[in-house]
Amino acid sequence: MGALERALTIEELKAIARRRVPKQFFDYIDSGAYTEQTYNANEADFKKITFRQRVAVNLENRNLGTTLLGQPVSLPIAIAPVGSTGMTDADGEIKAAKAAEKFGIPFTLSTMGICSIEDVAENTSKPFWFQLYVMRDRGFIERLIDRAKAAKCSALVLTMDLQILGQRHKDIRSGLTTPPRITPRFVAEMMLKPGWAFRMLGTRRHTFRNISGHVADAVNLAKLSEWTRTQFDLTLNWTDIGWIKKRFGGPVIVKGVLDVEDAKLAIANGADGIVVSNHGGRQLDGAPSTIRVLPEIVDAVGHQTKVLMDGGIRSGQDLLKALALGAKGALVGRIMAYGLGAGGEAGVTRALEIVRKETDTSMALMGERDIRNVGLHNIYSNDLDRRQGY
């Protein structure tokens, strides 16, 4: 039995990934902004919620399947957009997308992916979601939306919380670049991670292929980095949803909502769904965890739109707690990234299998047979005040 098969938790996959992935790229997927207060709260606040155990219930014929945005899914999760996934493992976005397709859930490709929209489309057979950052070069963004449409992406995930990049100390200290600069420190790291290096030598995908070759000024790594650094649009506002939605012609999900008023504004301006998210604790350090604010946002807009969430989910139990508090599904990023780092496509599959098993077993012990019925009655009401947080 190999290391992947022996892994029983996402934490164990994380430990394997730490050994396999170069430090600067592992730190990238495993870090938050500044003191990492919000990053840590995302996980810690799930632990404050406890299940109601129910017994003597018929538990035959359990069902974990439902729909997300009208798409049948085997489990109410989607792979979240994670930038530079292809540096966690060679062709990482392709591998994660293939694992998600076989598992029966959506995959979301980041604008800042190493593999392009076309790369993922050529290697999968079902529609995937595309995550959009709005940049100053609106001509490029229009072409990017058109490429997502041509690839038959079934939804656009519009991220609203990254007009300014939150500072992540680990990335600064490691000198993170994509592709990496060949320094003595990095060469020494490669000697300790030969498998990763060998796989990287076997692919041509080493940079941001959604941008490289599609922007005249991004002709090399230095120019690409300079262009990207100056492109995040400080004027992005709610009215931008309208032209983006019209250009795409399909569902637009707004990601980065952490406040009730923002949730209302997103819907008023045409969002087809929202993702309650603090960017995995990577932006505003000191913001609340997503699970803490989820109930009040569900109370305010859950009758109008589909509310999804991300941030801090590391197990099937966490997923069930999010569903109990009103989310219709969750996006998982680090679960995917740890699995990918631990074993490529097989590692992502193993991560999803772990979450599915945890979800199924825990749901049964809660006395539920259908995941669509999970709700507030499955948790103890005194664990948190639904309107005031904890």
Q: Which residues contact 169 (CB under 8 A, 6 or more apart)?
A: 31, 34
Q: What is the mean pLDDT of residues 295-301?
A: 97
Query: What is the token pair recorded at 62?
Result: 């359990």
pLDDT band at 376 (very low <50, low <70, confident <90, very high): very high
Prediction pTM value: 0.95
Please tell me the distance from the alpha carbon of residue 114 to that of residue 210, in angstroms, as a whole number: 8
Q: Which amino acid is at 251?
A: P
CA atoms within 13 A on the CB side of 114: 25
CB neighbour class for 277 (10 Å; exposed up to 12, middle 13-18, buried from 19): buried
Count the neighbouring beta carbons within 10 Å of the beta carbon of residue 35: 11
Report DSSP letters for 58-82, one per residue: ---S-B--EEETTEEESSSEEEPP-
Q: Which residues contact 83 (CB under 8 A, 6 or more apart)?
A: 110, 111, 112, 113
Q: Which amino acid is at 357?
A: K
Active-site positions?
Answer: 279
Q: Report H helices in 21-165.
A: 23-29, 37-44, 85-88, 92-103, 117-122, 138-150
Please tell me the distance from the alpha carbon of residue 121 to that of residue 128, in angstroms, as a whole number: 8
Q: What is the mean pLDDT of residues 24-32?
A: 95
Which residue bears the tokens 């979800």?
359
User: With 50 as the cut, is the pLDDT of residue 212 above it?
Assistant: yes
The confidence score (pLDDT) of residue 385 equals: 56
pLDDT band at 221 (very low <50, low <70, confident <90, very high): low
Question: What percent of the chain shows pLDDT beyond 90?
Answer: 85
Query: What is the token pair recorded at 99?
Result: 């694992």
The confidence score (pLDDT) of residue 198 equals: 95
pLDDT band at 174 (very low <50, low <70, confident <90, very high): confident
User: With 90 as the cut, is the pLDDT of residue 387 above it?
Assistant: no
Residues 50-68 have pLDDT tens digits of 999 999 999 999 999 999 9
Question: What percent of the chain shows pLDDT beyond 70?
Answer: 97
The confidence score (pLDDT) of residue 388 equals: 46
Q: Which domains does the chain have, with CATH numbers?
A: 3-49+68-360 (3.20.20.70)
The confidence score (pLDDT) of residue 368 equals: 98
